[in-house]
Structure 1
């Protein structure tokens, strides 16, 4: 097992979460933890404290590194989204998932998402099966299940179904 320590990230500016079109460089990565079953990897949401624009990332997480590169790509994609590093997410496959849309419209599509919790449930070849919980800025949660196809270190396709 490997131990990782993550620093707190504080966004104090008014409307900082709404103005996330510019990627934040040098911010801490979200916490990743192992969940049952053994092949499940969950990216945990941060602890949110007042004011609403303040986001804290777990100070310490212990987890084994994912052994499957295609799963690492999907995890890295959601890690980038959670850090509001949209350029990295775009390069990890967001541009393919945007289906011809522009980078600006891709970023705008995440305006009401405050945090994603991803669970990798299975990996078969280049296909990564996931469950996704997307917390919205209004406090509601949207859940999805499906798969991502990865090739050459980037997501090349997705088949996701919204559950709620």
Structure 2
């Protein structure tokens, strides 16, 4: 009888031991599903804490803006005038030099051709000499400066330059006195004729180097 009792108790003890082992194992090692959840949370947390890498920036310098140099603007301005493209010349700076477009165009009515010489270009200031051939064939010479800003003429300081005095013509002789005029056979000299001069006409009657009274 005692032996049967012992045999019946052994299976019960084995079941108890297995149950206790199962309970203890759950405290020391997480199941596979628990491990997966823990790793996933850990990775998400780590990614959120990592610093964001800034977008790469280009080390190439920005391209400079294209602005025509001052001398080129002045040359193009007069090239437009010579081509009678007055609208182009107006846009290049004529609008800053004249009260109206009509007055600007009328200012070139007697100009046949302009020849501009750049004497000096200092930043925005361009020094020029301008030879303006007129429609009647005469030549007018101007000198001065143009001020250019961002591709446009904004101001001008140009003046008409007096040319050299014409040399005496061979058809207009000069006599120091009436003796020279008489020796040359030119006396008497009448006002308006070549060689007549006020210093030879002492009485101011319009006749110089009159014959000596008898």
| TM-score computed with the length of structure 1 as normaliser | 0.57
Counterpart of 2:92 in 1: which secondary structure? helix
Map of 1:1-164 to 2, 5 A cutoff? 69-98=69-98, 101-164=99-162
Find runs of 4+ consecutive structure 1 residues off by over 3 angstroms.
none
Deviation, 1:74, is 0.3
RMSD of aligned C-alpha atoms?
1.0
| TM-score computed with the length of structure 2 as normaliser | 0.44
Counterpart of 1:111 in 2: which secondary structure? coil
Could you report, residue by residue, the CA deviation over 1:32-68 in whole angstroms, capped at 9, with x for unpaired residues?
xxxxxxxxxxxxxxxxxxxxxxxxxxxxxxxxxxxx7
Deviation, 1:87, is 0.1
Distance 1:93 1:74 in 2: 9
Structure having the larger proportion of residues in helix: 2
Structure having the larger proportion of residues in strand: 1
Gaps of 5+ in 1: 1-67
Distance 2:90 2:105 in 1: 9
Q: How many residues align?
A: 95
Distance 1:154 1:88 in 2: 11
| Equivalent residue, structure 2, for 1:14 | none
Report which of the two structures shows the higher radius of gyration computed on alpha carbons: 2
Deviation, 1:105, is 1.4
| Equivalent residue, structure 1, for 2:171 | none
Deviation, 1:152, is 1.1
Counterpart of 1:139 in 2: which secondary structure? coil
Gaps of 5+ in 2: 1-67, 163-214
